[in-house]
Amino acid sequence: MCGRYASTLPPEMMQELFKTLNSIELMPRFNIAPTQPVAAIWEESNRREAHFARWGLVPRWVKDPREFPLLINARVETMAEKPAFRDALKHGRCIIPASGYYEWRTNPDKSKQPFYITHEDGHPMALAGLYATWSGPEGEEVDTVATITVPANGQLSVIHDRMPAILEGDAIEQWLDVRGTDARTAYQLALPLADGALKFHPVSTRVNSARMDDPALIEPVSDVRPEPVIKKKAGGGAQMDLF
């Protein structure tokens, strides 16, 4: 899954790269977490614009979001059938600009080591996403999004079995064109990137806390794997325990 990411693109760069008709004020973020406002791009009435949206999709038909599960990811294998995602796949596709994302590897001792994952060439990412606008009883409207995940490629499988669907080139144009690209075609665009397209390095476990948000979070740290602690049995025998 993708549960944290960073976005440090200046507004003018995001507008130029993704060809939006507008620009929104953005501060560099290094630890974006679910339920927080994120920048997302979609097309509506032939206008491609950037918006702020809540990370955690809430379909239009939900009566009370507080009683609805937090949907931050849509699995590519089931998004076309799940009631929460199937309409958005047809009419509410978006991209979520990112500089990189975090994933956690489970170590043999069950501890978790976070990694920061970026394009090999450092180019910004376009995470494939779905959006929906929830309307409340008082007329309030909230734009909400979820990222799409796919099976990890061979390179990333050493960290986790899932990865976000990252769009490139013409796939971005097709994904956002909800009028010209039907859901079946769009579904086929959400694929794992090829091995070698991404790079990663271990980072501090400070990223585990959503309160942390500073440039040091994306800096590499030593990848220290847990070493077995060998203790002798009481009595000095030769047999040892492995922990």
Active site positions, annotated = 2, 103
Spatial CB neighbours of 121, under 8 Å, sequence gap ≥ 6: none
Cα distance between residue 18 and residue 172, in whole Å: 9
Instruction: Give residue for tokens 């953005």.
Output: 26
Estimate the share of the chain in helix, then strand, then coil, as percent rounded to the nearest 5: 15, 35, 50
Of the candidates 187, 202, 197, 96, which has an alpha carbon nearest to the alpha carbon of residue 143? Answer: 96
Strand order in the sheet with 4-7: 29-32, 4-7, 100-106, 112-119, 198-202
Cα distance between residue 94 and residue 12, in whole Å: 19
Q: Tell how strand 141-151 and strand 73-75 pair up.
A: parallel
Cα distance between residue 151 and residue 108, in whole Å: 22
DSSP state at residue 115:
E
- Residue 63 CB neighbour total at 10 angstroms: 10
